[in-house]
Amino acid sequence: MVQQNEDLEEKKLLGSGGYVLAKLTEQEELRASLGIPQIFLANVDRLNEDRFLRYFCKKCGKEYLGSPLIRFENPNEKLGEGVILIEKGEYKCRICDNIIALYRKFNR
């Protein structure tokens, strides 16, 4: 969880169906960027809606204020060799249902 005194920075996170502008901690940014300048939404654990400022939907060709729709489930699916799929989710456009990005969270 984010500590209250931690600095949040506004960042652009890319997805296959658009991008979002969201506030990230430095830790989250490091984890998501994998050492390259672009940050991918799929590499960040689920962000709370209040972290999003705007998002852009490629299908609509428009930018919207606020967060995309966030849908997720917790299948706790065993994938073998001790790897468990803890959570899978998607960020979707509120207007047209286009998927902005998908993410998967594993136990390691």
Q: Which chain residues interact with Zn ion by CB under 5 A?
A: 57, 59-60, 93, 95-96, 98
> Taking the complex as a whole, how short is the minimal distance between the CB of residue 89 and Zn ion, in angstroms?
18
Give the CA-trace dihedral at 41, 47, 51, 54, to 10 degrees: 40
Q: Which is nearer to Zn ion, 34 or 95 (CB)?
A: 95
DSSP 29: H
Q: Which is nearer to Zn ion, 22 or 28 (CB)?
A: 22
> Taking the complex as a whole, how short is the minimal distance between the CB of residue 54 and Zn ion, in angstroms?
13
> Taking the complex as a whole, how short is the minimal distance between the CB of residue 59 and Zn ion, in angstroms?
5
d(CA 3, CA 7): 9
CA distances from 96 to 29, 33, 99 (A): 28, 28, 9
Q: Which is nearer to Zn ion, 59 or 88 (CB)?
A: 59
